[in-house]
Amino acid sequence: MTIPLISLNDGNSIPQLGFGVFKVDPAETERIVTEALEVGYRHIDTAAVYGNEEGVGRAIAASGIPRDELFITTKLWNSEQGSDTSGAALDTSLQKLGLDSVDLYLIHWPRPDLDRYVDTFRVMEQLRSEGLTRSIGVSNFHQPHLQRIFDETGTVPAVNQIELHPGFAQRELRAFQEPLGIHTEAWGPLGQGKYDLFGEKAVSAAASAHSVAPAQVVIRWHLQQGIIVFPKSSTRARMAENFDVFGFELTDAEIDAINAIDRGQRVGADPDTATF
């Protein structure tokens, strides 16, 4: 199965469907990522704060998959923001991953209270020029944070990874960033089980109509809107199910019905006030 590639604003490409390891037990990470790679995933999204970069690295090394066939993302944690620490943080992540470079490096949260994200992004520009990451971007940034980045650095981030699911579709933020060439990545694409997304009539009806699982419908909803998405699972059967989303297509009416689920229902932290 060929996963669609999305062209980023720096000329690189990213697989639109990937595999996330948020809250994956470090002791289980190598097994889980190995199974994901066996299923067919080639885009893995991790972060320094997840504590499982080493397990991801071991799975990559054991897979035998050529490095140029993989897309690996990691993220800079908030405590490492700043001109003096960001480069060392990537060095540590690369050592844990067993890689010479990552494909995408993100500032994990803006932490506007610290006011370091602009200086940090300048460091990331340097890391990219040194070949330690191919692309750079941000995560959980709101419109004012993004505006400051490109006003003060002149660089448009390649992606913004944000909480996004049918109950919290982030239309206003997407309408701002996507015309500028900032692609949207979704974390928590299935709502993290914090509301009954699969019980929503629009989702269950589409699942019945296409003889697929509700999760497959929601993943397909993301894909058809051009969103980069990486669901997670610790079970191989569910990994395979989440990967098998290219044999059907939602109708415009089904997309509209799922769009109507949006209630501005954030299930994670608010980037404007998060201080972890």
pLDDT, tens only, 135-171: 999 999 999 999 999 999 999 999 999 999 999 999 9
Q: How far apart are CA 210 and CA 164, in angstroms?
A: 23
The tens digit of pLDDT for each residue in 233-258 reads 999 999 999 999 999 999 999 999 99
Identify whether 254 is part of a domain. no
Question: What is the residue type of 62?
Answer: A
Neighbours of 256 (CB within 10 A): 11
Residue 136: closest CA among 112, 116, 161: 161
Q: How far apart are CA 152 and CA 119, in angstroms?
A: 9
* pLDDT number for residue 2: 85
- The pLDDT confidence band at residue 86, using thresholds 50, 70 and 90, is confident
Q: Maximum CA pair distance of the chain?
A: 54
* pLDDT number for residue 83: 83
Is 105 a catalytic site residue?
no
Q: What is the count of structural domains for the chain?
A: 1
Residue 215: closest CA among 225, 234, 200, 227: 200
Radius of gyration of the chain from its Cα atoms, rounded to whole angstroms: 18
- Tokens standing for residue 265: 């229902």
The pTM score is 0.96
Identify whether 38 is part of a domain. yes
pLDDT over 70, % of the chain: 100
Q: Are 149 and 158 in contact (CB under 8 A)?
A: no
Identify whether 187 is part of a domain. yes
Identify whether 240 is part of a domain. no
Identify whether 215 is part of a domain. no
Q: Are 116 and 85 in contact (CB under 8 A)?
A: no
Q: Which domain holds residue 186?
A: 5-192+225-234
* pLDDT number for residue 4: 97
Question: What is the residue type of 234?
Answer: S
Identify whether 160 is part of a domain. yes
The tens digit of pLDDT for each residue in 211-238 reads 999 999 999 999 999 999 999 999 999 9
* pLDDT number for residue 161: 98
Q: What is the CATH number of the domain that holds 21?
A: 3.20.20.100
Q: How far apart are CA 229 and CA 227, in angstroms?
A: 6
Identify whether 102 is part of a domain. yes
Is the pLDDT at 1 greater than 80, yes or no?
no
Identify whether 212 is part of a domain. no
Catalytic residue among 50, 105, 117, 195: 50
* pLDDT number for residue 85: 84
Is the pLDDT at 84 greater than 90, yes or no?
no
Is the pLDDT at 74 greater than 90, yes or no?
yes
45 beta partners: 20, 73
* pLDDT number for residue 15: 98
- Tokens standing for residue 212: 């697929």
Mode of pairing for the β-strands spanning 5-7 and 13-15: antiparallel
